[in-house]
Amino acid sequence: MTHFDRPVASPILRPHVVFVAAMSEKRKRREPASGREGRTALADGALIDFHRRPFTADAVGALTDALRREVPWTQRTVTVFGKKHLEPRLQCYQADDASLVYKYSGLTIVPVAFSPCVLAIRNRLFELFPGSPRYNTCLLNRYRNGDDSMGWHTDQDVARYGQDPHIASVSFGAERTFRLRRIADEGEKVDYVLGGGAVLVMHGTTQRTWQHSVPKQKSALERFNLTFRHIIAKGVV
Ligand SMILES: O=C(O)CCC(=O)C(=O)O
Ligand SMILES: [Mn+2]
């Protein structure tokens, strides 16, 4: 038998094909790593700074109550693939001035003024991390229970935030899993547990090389998340 007339094995039986398929299944099913306190350098140049308890317990209690009372929360309707639906969480967008609009799922969102409690949280971030950018906007999310969630996305928006922005995420109320996954290998995941005043800063290439999400979580209680961002170009629509 020459090498021309050797019978060709069916692709599903070829050992190397089976091996590669099994490997990619395994890659998808890998357990997420647990995020650690302090700085973690992730693959592809992403950087995460995590501080689990930077606020005092009294401050956490007072700020959580104030977020519930002071912020004008709304539930938005978004259109996905031509179908309108309510987002699975409440939101509010606040900024230093009304020209700092935000574009999102085809909507242009005009900010409202900062609530006093949001300004207090921003001031505390500037005290704790004096090298932070001068965050001029904040996107707030209120997860009413474990059915509220946020899907996989990045916050990459070069025109607004520049290349490789710092985004500071502060979470109050109940803890929820905040999951990161590497774009070049979606099986590589890292979980942080965020609530009770935890601060997580995404920087380096994070918005280009990793996505993040807040999955639904059975029996979870109310949680508030604030992401502070620095818009470099005013009036970009
Ligand atoms: O709730 C969170 O921890 C994440 C929020 C988020 O990713 C966003 O507002 O873009
Ligand atoms: Mn985000």
pLDDT in tens, 82-125: 899 999 999 999 999 998 998 777 788 999 999 999 999 999 99
- Is 15 a residue whose pLDDT tops 90? no
Residue 108 domain-assigned?
A: yes
Task: Give a yes or no: residue 237 inside a domain.
Answer: no
pLDDT score recorded for residue 23: 56
Does 8 reside within a domain? no
CA of residue 116 to ligand 2 center, whole Å: 23
Helix axes 57-70, 116-128, angle to 10 degrees: 140
Atom 1, ligand 1: residue with shortest CA distance: 225
52-74 average pLDDT score: 97
3-class SS of residue 174: coil
Q: Amino acid letter at 52? A: R
Confidence of residue 78 (pLDDT cuts 50, 70, 90): confident
Distances 89 to 76, 103, 224 between C-alpha atoms, Å: 8, 18, 10
What is the 225 CA–ligand 1 centroid distance (Å)?
6
Split at pLDDT 50, 70, 90, the class of 3 is: very low
Answer whether residue 174 is part of any domain: yes
Q: Indicate the number of domains in the chain.
A: 1
DSSP string, 100-116: --EEETTEEEPPBPPPH
Residue 235: pLDDT band with limits 50, 70, 90: low
Please indicate whether residue 15 or residue 233 has the higher confidence score (pLDDT): 233
Whether 24 is in a domain gets the answer no
- What is this structure's pTM? 0.87
Pocket test for ligand 1, best of 166, 167, 227 (most atoms within 8 A of CB): 227
C-alpha of residue 2 to centroid of ligand 1, in Å: 61
- Asked whether 141 lines ligand 1 (CB < 6 A), one says yes
Asked whether residue 7 is assigned to any structural domain, the reply reads no
- Write down the mean pLDDT value for the chain: 89
The residue range of the domain holding 53 is: 32-229
What CATH number does the domain containing 48 carry?
Answer: 2.60.120.590
**Residue 177, in any domain of the structure:** yes
Please tell me the residue having the least CA distance from ligand 1 atom 6: 227
Distance CA 169, CA 98 (A): 22
